[in-house]
Amino acid sequence: MTAPDELKGKRILLIEDEESLAIGLEYNLSEEGYIVDWAKNGREGIEKINTGNYDLIIVDLMLPYHDGFEITKLIRSRDVQMPVLILTARSSNEDKIKGLDYGADDYVVKPFNLKELLLRIERMLRRKSWYKNLEKTGETFRFGNNRVNFINLECAAGEKTFRLTPKEAMLLKYLAENSSRIISRKELLENVWNLNSDVETRTVDIFISRLRKYFEPDPENPVYFKSVRGAGYIFEPGN
């Protein structure tokens, strides 16, 4: 298994202080066709973030000098699009929620399944490419009378302009990527929040309701963000 051609040569920063794990990951990611840069601690990680140009960052939580939470927060404060994957031995729900809340896109607990990790990385890089394509063409995602700029998260619904939160943008982005397909709450929780479905599925409903308020002409009778009874949601942006 190697990464698709369009993703080969993507630069990944790996911030991990466990030497043998880092060597193993570096080997596997390089075999996939990615270019890997390894930082051995939090301080080195921040230096590399400041100077390097990366497509994805993998960060451990328990790091010398600066922990993974701090680093994730720092990355997110500078770049809303940078895919960040937390790879850690800490498996408590508090840590997962904190990591995702600080802006990580994915949270993988050690020991992990190699194939699963590589697929997650590939998916994150695909999303990043999607962002970049938008940036290149200068296009804004449009549906109906709405415009969404996923780069700065600025939106316009008719005359009204506003800014989405990163999580709202991620949800909308996932729906847009999977438009005209029924998506279950479970799938949204797993892919947008990176949480298992044991966690309150009501979170999804709350966020969908927010999107309806922003973009639907009549949120009570949605035309874009439709509910599918017993199945989940379907996003129909129209032409």
Partner 1 sequence: MKRTNSHLYIIIAFVIAQIAWLGLLALWIYWYVTNYIVFEQVGEKLSPLIDIQTPNVFVFTAGIILIVGIAVVMFIFFRNLSVQYKLTNLYDNFIATVTHELKSPLSSLRLFLETMAYKNVSEEKRKDFLSLMMKDVKRLDNLINTILEISKLEQKKIVHDRREYKAGILFEELVNESILNLSVPEGVVSYECSSVSYCSADKKALQIVIDNLISNALKYSKEAPTINVSVKDNRKKIIIDISDNGIGIPQQYQKKIFNKFFRIDSVNMPNVKGTGLGLYWTKEIIKQHKGSISVHSNGLNKGSTFRIELPALKNKG
Kindly list the residues in this chain that would bind partner 1 in the complex (CB under 8 A). 1, 17-21, 23-25, 27-28, 31, 41, 62-67, 89-91, 110-115
Tokens (6 digits) for 233 = 């949601």
Q: Which of 48, 21, 190 lies closest to 119 in space, CA to CA?
A: 190
> By C-beta, is 21 or 151 nearer to partner 1?
21
CA distance 178 to 59: 28
> By C-beta, is 19 or 139 nearer to partner 1?
19
Give the nearest distance from C-beta 149 to partner 1 in angstroms. Answer: 36
Give the max Cα distance, the chain.
Answer: 56
Cα–Cα separations (whole angstroms), residue 215 to 129, 163, 166, 188 = 25, 12, 16, 19
Residue with tokens 């929780």: 189
Give the nearest distance from C-beta 82 to partner 1 in angstroms. Answer: 23
Torsion of CA 128, 132, 133, 137, to 10 degrees: 160
Give the nearest distance from C-beta 128 to partner 1 in angstroms. Answer: 24
Give the nearest distance from C-beta 62 to partner 1 in angstroms. Answer: 5
Give the nearest distance from C-beta 166 to partner 1 in angstroms. Answer: 23
Tokens (6 digits) for 127 = 């999303």
> By C-beta, is 40 or 226 nearer to partner 1?
40
> By C-beta, is 68 or 232 nearer to partner 1?
68
> By C-beta, is 115 or 213 nearer to partner 1?
115
